[in-house]
């Protein structure tokens, strides 16, 4: 059995995930981070994106993360996300609609100063992360579960 570390994914509203895993791949603000057991202690910002969890003998799990921060200890990773969803919780149609809305708002923000461009951009990036995670699940579903190599 490969060494494991405990991963917790927390948001203000709930605890989404708490389990021993082999590897965490997280969307760090300064690039994607792969974290294995015995990582050096680290506190980092997270950006919008997908968080991948690898566990021996299981399919990889994916979460859409809407920014936040993360604390890494050698045997423990705590993700404190502003928003976090499991891939199966995401409604792809709604995410697409949100993306469209955000794009329109961003367009308007370019013409009209009173629109909040930063907020629109944040919404856009959030929806893109969700779409990416949801799409991946759909693909895997068609292909069937992947096998460990």
Nearer to another protein, 1 or 12 (CB): 12
Cβ atoms of 27 and 6 closer than 8 Å: no
Residues 6+ apart with CB under 8 A from 147: none
CA dihedral 7, 135, 56, 24 (to 10 degrees): -30
Token reading at 147? 């096998």
- For residue 44, the minimal CB distance to another protein (Å) is 4
Residue 118 interacting with another protein (CB under 8 A): no
Binding flags for another protein, 6-25, as an x/- string (CB under 8 A): --x-xxxxxx----------
Site residues for another protein per CB under 8 A? 8, 10-15, 28-30, 40-45, 68-69, 71, 73, 78, 80, 82-83
């Amino acid at each position: 059995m490969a060494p494991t570390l405990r991963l917790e994914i927390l948001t203000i509203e709930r605890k989404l995930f708490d389990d021993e895993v082999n590897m965490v791949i997280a969307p760090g603000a300064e690039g994607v981070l792969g974290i294995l057991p015995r990582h050096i202690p680290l506190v980092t910002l997270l950006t919008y994106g997908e968080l991948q969890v690898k566990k021996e003998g299981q399919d990889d799990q994916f979460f859409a993360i809407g920014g936040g921060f993360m604390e890494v200890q050698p045997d423990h990773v705590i993700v404190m996300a502003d928003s976090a969803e499991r891939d199966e919780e995401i409604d792809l149609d709604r995410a697409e609609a949100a993306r469209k809305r955000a794009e329109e708002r961003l367009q308007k923000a370019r013409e009209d100063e009173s629109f909040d461009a930063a907020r629109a951009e944040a919404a856009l990036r959030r929806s893109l992360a969700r779409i990416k995670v949801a799409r991946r699940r759909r693909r895997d579903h068609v292909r069937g579960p992947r096998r460990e190599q």
